[in-house]
Amino acid sequence: MVDNKKDLLQSRRSPLRAALFGLANTVLYTLEWFIAKSSKVSTTPFLPKEEFPWIPQMEAAAPKIREEVLALLETKQHLPNFQEISKDQDQLTQDDAWKTVFFEAYGITSEANRARCPETAKAIDQVPDMKLAMLSMFSGNKHVPAHRGPYKGVIRYHLGLVVPEPAGSARIRVGDQTRSWAEGDSLVFDDSYNHEAWNDADGDRVVLFLDVVRPCRFPFNLLNKLIIGVIARSPFVRDLERNQRAWEERYEQATAAQAS
């Protein structure tokens, strides 16, 4: 059933974009076996926090980051939907219940968002081999359907910042395991496993969302670096940059009007 839905949703892309997406996925999936075999960290759905020495610094910074998030939520109606910034996310979400605020994305930097959230910027700058950093905001009663990430060569990190009650209402399944978010706590997972997420509460759920390079043994660390470099130059990332710049202009205008 999941595969049929994925096929249907992928058909929404233009024929050329769908073909490029399919070709890229085929190549990446083929290379994943080598990346997994050479990984220096676990290849399980969820990874132990202890394998990442920078996580305690992130958790220590969580209260200050949360303050910046609460300030952003005051202008939530002007924040972009995920699919507005990354058009390919329309296969997962069509409504306005998944908001994002990008800081870094494969070499693209939003100086405006970093300036709005200086404590967040300071924290993510301490994470080695970080390739993507953003805030991920789910409104209440939001479900992201089952899917998998494009490539095993990066590992996903979530830092819980705003988590609604009751406990367990905001949760994520990765493979055959399910975990709940908690404020100030971390989840590390491999998004190349089939996964889905829920926020069954009425309140917002906000996490700091990072992708970091999976550490691999030589020579596959070089292969992984090469692949990630190609991803950074792909049209999918370049589209994200254009959409992000356009949103920043609209946000400045909207918040200025709101303030006046």
pLDDT band for 207, please (50, 70, 90 cuts).
very high
pLDDT at 11: 38
Query: Which residue range is the domain that position 78 belongs to?
Result: 2-259
Q: What is the band of 8 on the pLDDT scale with cuts at 50, 70, 90?
A: very low
Instruction: Dump pLDDT digits (tens) for 16-63.
Output: 556 555 656 677 777 888 999 999 999 999 999 999 999 999 999 999
Cα 211 from Cα 103, distance rounded (Å): 12
pLDDT > 70 fraction of the chain, expressed in percent and rounded? 90
Confidence of residue 13 (pLDDT cuts 50, 70, 90): low
CA pair distance 82, 71, nearest whole angstrom: 19
Residue 91: predicted pLDDT: 84
DSSP-assigned beta bridge partners for residue 159: 186, 208
DSSP 77: G
Contact status, residue 78 vs residue 113, Cβ threshold 8 Å: no
CATH for 189:
2.60.120.330
Query: By the 8 A CB rule, do 161 and 123 touch?
Result: no
Using pLDDT thresholds of 50, 70 and 90, give the confidence band for residue 201: very high
Model confidence at 238, pLDDT cuts 50, 70, 90, reads confident
Please tell me the distance from the alpha carbon of residue 77 to that of residue 9, in angstroms, as a whole number: 26
* Tens digits of residue pLDDT in 97-156: 999 999 999 999 999 999 999 999 999 999 999 999 999 999 999 999 999 988 899 999
State how many domains the chain has: 1
User: Is the CA virtual torsion 184, 81, 200, 171 positive or negative?
Assistant: negative
Q: Is the pLDDT of residue 204 over 90?
A: yes
pTM of the model: 0.88
What is the pLDDT at residue 234? 84
